[in-house]
Structure 1
Amino acid sequence: MDERIKNFILSQKLLNLSMLDEDGGVYCASCYYAFDSQNLALIFASEERTKHVQLAHKAPKVAVNIASDTDIINLIKGVQIKALFQKATKEQEKIYYEKFPFAKLAKACVFALNIQWAKYTDNKILLSKKLEFFI
């Protein structure tokens, strides 16, 4: 994966996770995440009973969007991702809790979104060109 994509993912902390719902539509949830740059996985914690976790268990191919927070069009950065949802490894749990130690107080499970494809936009540098990554 291009270092510019990795650096952008590392610079952020909130993702929007989208998955199929029961009616063939889509459902979204926002989650704080940590990045496992070695294994190219986004790690988040959530309770097992939440709708987004239940839906992701049923259909583990999910979509993710991470975007910078700006109103200035030439400063917009973002990445669109296709990922595979699964339970996080012990090492990934450690990565998550290092970034969000307060999360240990919650009754949540830790999950990983293994990146299969990513498209990165950086309007300042790349203008209309996008960087893509494939597994």
Structure 2
Amino acid sequence: MMGYLAKSGVTMVAVPDAISQYLQQQHVLTLCTQDQQGLWCASCFYVFDVDSMCCYLMTADNSRHTQAMVVDPIIAGTIADQTQSVLHIQGIQYTAIASRVSESESAAIRQLYCQRFPVAKVKSAPLWRLALQTVKMVDNRLGFGKKHRWQRQPD
């Protein structure tokens, strides 16, 4: 979709097509953070960049999940369709490292984010990068319990 970070020099392992297509088709993820009060989850709109295997989201500095990501950037989450049939279940479980998007990257990523979510044009919240570390996708449409996996390789 973006290819924005393809120039960053990060070596990527091939991403299964099922995973990249699913991440591009969806637009809401759930992220789970932990703070001194315990676990906390939030649902956020996101845009996905297959070249960097990152999801980008916009969230306020004063939200509980943002405050938790500042202290502990290691997060987990899910992206899932809502279906009533076990045979149609598709979804992703992931781990990621969260970081605030730098000022130098912000304008380009904000433009892409606002193309997908025009309402974001009137928001001034910061952008965050979720650098996916592990992805497990369940796709029962291909057979009960069929899974696709991807893992970021160390630099």
TM-score range, shorter chain: over 0.9
Match of 1:2 in 2: 16
| Match runs of 1:42-57 below 5 Å | 42-57=55-70
The equivalent residue for 1:97 is 114
**How much does 1:126 deviate?**
4.1
Residue 62 of structure 1: CA displacement?
Answer: 0.3
Cα displacement (A) at 1:92: 2.6
- CA distance in 2 between counterparts of 1:108 and 1:16 reads 18
2:31 is aligned to 17
Structure 2's unaligned 5+ residue stretches are: 1-14
Structure-to-structure mapping, 1:1-135, within 5 angstroms: 1-23=15-37, 25-88=38-101, 89-90=105-106, 91-135=108-152
Contact 1:36 1:92 in 2 (8 A): no
Cα distance in 2 for residues equivalent to 1:69 and 1:14: 12
Report Cα offsets for 1:83-115 as digits up to 9, x if no partner.
010112333323212211220201211111010
Calculate the TM-score normalised by the size of structure 1: 0.93
CA distance in 2, matches of 1:85, 1:126: 33
- The 8 Å contact of residues 120 and 130 in structure 1, kept in 2 or not, is answered as yes
Identity of aligned residues (%): 28
User: Aligned-residue CA RMSD in angstroms?
Assistant: 1.2
| 1:77 positional shift | 0.3
| TM-score scaled by length of structure 2 | 0.82
Q: How far 1:72 sits from its partner (Å)?
A: 1.1
Find the residue that maps to 2:61 and give its secondary structure: coil
Equivalent pairs, count: 134
Q: Gaps (5+ residues) in structure 1?
A: none
